[in-house]
Amino acid sequence: MEDFAWQRATSTEEAAAASTHTTAEAMVTLTGTPGDAQATLVKAGGVDLLDLMKEGLVRPACLIDISRLPDLSGIEIRPDGSVRLGALTTLGDIAAHAGLRRSHTALVEAAAQAASPQIRNRATLGGNLLQRPRCWYFRSAAHHCLRKGGAHCFAFRGDNRYHAVFANNGCAIVHASTPATALLALGAEVELADSAGHRRRVALEDFFVLPEADMRRENILAIGELLTAVWLPPLPPSSRTRYLQVAERAAFDWPLAAAAALLDIDAAGICRAARIVLGAAAPAPWRAHQAEALLVGTRISSDTAAAAGEAALTGATPLSQNSYKLPLLATLVRRAVAGAAALPAYPGAP
């Protein structure tokens, strides 16, 4: 790893003003040499950023440490049932939060299954949503692929067993964030702040970018912007949520496939609304709209849950080595739907 300067930010505005590049921009180069050496980059827990630096994939001149900014911390459940998760909230804080487990079960289940306990205690939610993809060609300094400014995707003819089965034309990464799958099902928004103190809120669904829109980044974070919080809208009383995943090892691994379900079921047992999201399936968490449409207006049974699982595969385009993901995803959707329906209704705001 090369030498770099270190600056501890004392305010959100100061950190936003100091950052000269997003990590994605600093990693893009036309020559294949590691990223922009003039960059000042934001560091939260440092789990992903330091990894990229140690691999020689980015070589910033300076890191601006935001890990002690008080207004980016904390989990706050508001009287109306909405939730503000500060960007510095760790995955461990989320996994251990009893109130969130009752109200937003899927998010707690996702955070608890991400990485290992040590990493969850360091990894922040903001950094987790902004971590770069795990594609092993992308993570190899020897492979100057499309996402880093090169001319080829090595995964299409190479080893693509962990890659995307949806929206995989051009670049076939899967989004690396486990909590993002649950957050999308819960209708989350991210809060972004600039150096002048302006804040904007963007639906998580609009925050992520597919390769067809921009091959070189996974989100719309702009230069000089900080992710300050994640907001969860109040859930309707009678809603239930679940998150399930399959990984090669239950601890420590990113999932091979994942599914999150949010169901709103009325007193007569009829599904009023459904959000079904697939993880480790596409370059961004993937809404399974056909599965959602199939569930709305029906009584959830093992048959409708299984039909939703099959419907969730609509439009899949598996690559040469990853069609095994399709039955995994169908099964996870079936179990997440059946599992959510079996939970007691969330009683609503405290």
| Residue 268, burial from CB neighbour count under 10 angstroms (0-12, 13-18, 19+) | exposed
- The two most distant CA atoms of the chain are separated, in Å, by 64
- Our finding on whether 172 is near ligand SF4 (CB under 6 A) is yes
Whole-number Å distance between alpha carbons of 212 and 158: 21
Q: How is residue 213 written in tokens?
A: 């829109």
Given 132, 154, 291, 325, the residue binding ligand SF4 (CB under 6 A): 154
Q: Considering the complex, what minimum distance in angstroms separates the CB of residue 255 from ligand SF4?
A: 17
Under rule CB under 6 A, residue 311 binds ligand FAD: no
The answer to whether residue 25 forms part of the interface with ligand FAD (CB under 6 A) is no
The rounded distance, in Å, linking the Cα atoms of 36 and 26 is 5
**Strand pairing category for 62-65 and 5-8:** parallel
Task: Pick one of ligand FAD, ligand SF4, none as the site partner of residue 127 (Cβ within 5 to 8 A by kind).
Answer: ligand FAD
Give residue for tokens 């079960």.
105
Is 86 among the residues that bind ligand FAD (CB under 6 A)? no
| Binding letters toward ligand SF4, positions 268-307, x by CB under 6 A | ----------------------------------------
Closest to 24 (Cα-Cα) out of 126, 152, 138, 101 = 138
Is 280 a residue that touches ligand FAD (CB under 6 A)? no
| Residue 42 lies near ligand FAD (rule: CB under 6 A) | yes
Do strands 83-86 and 62-65 pair parallel, antiparallel, or not at all (unpaired)?
Answer: unpaired
Q: Which of 235, 245, 124 is nearest to 186 (CA)?
A: 235
| Nearest CA-CA partner of 40 in 14, 58, 56, 64 | 64
Going by the DSSP 8-state scheme, the letter that residue 56 receives in this structure is T
Per-residue binder mask for ligand SF4 (CB under 6 A), 102-141, x = binder = -------------------------------x-x-xx---
324 binds ligand FAD, rule: CB under 6 A: no
Q: Site for ligand SF4 (CB under 6 A): which residue of 153, 183, 184, 258?
A: 153
Taking CB under 6 A as the criterion, the residue among 9, 18, 23, 292 binding ligand FAD is 23
Please report how close the Cβ of residue 204 comes to ligand SF4 at its closest, in angstroms.
21
Q: How far is CA 108 from CA 114, 180, 342, in A?
A: 10, 12, 17
- Pick between residue 24 and residue 64 the one whose CB is nearest to ligand SF4: 24
Cβ atoms within 10 A of the Cβ of 20, count?
A: 18
Q: Would you tell me which residues interact with ligand SF4 (CB under 6 A)?
A: 133, 135, 137-138, 145-147, 153-155, 163, 171-173
| Contacting residues toward ligand FAD, per CB under 6 A | 23, 41-49, 66, 87, 114-115, 119, 123-124, 126-128, 130-131, 176-178, 226-227, 252, 254
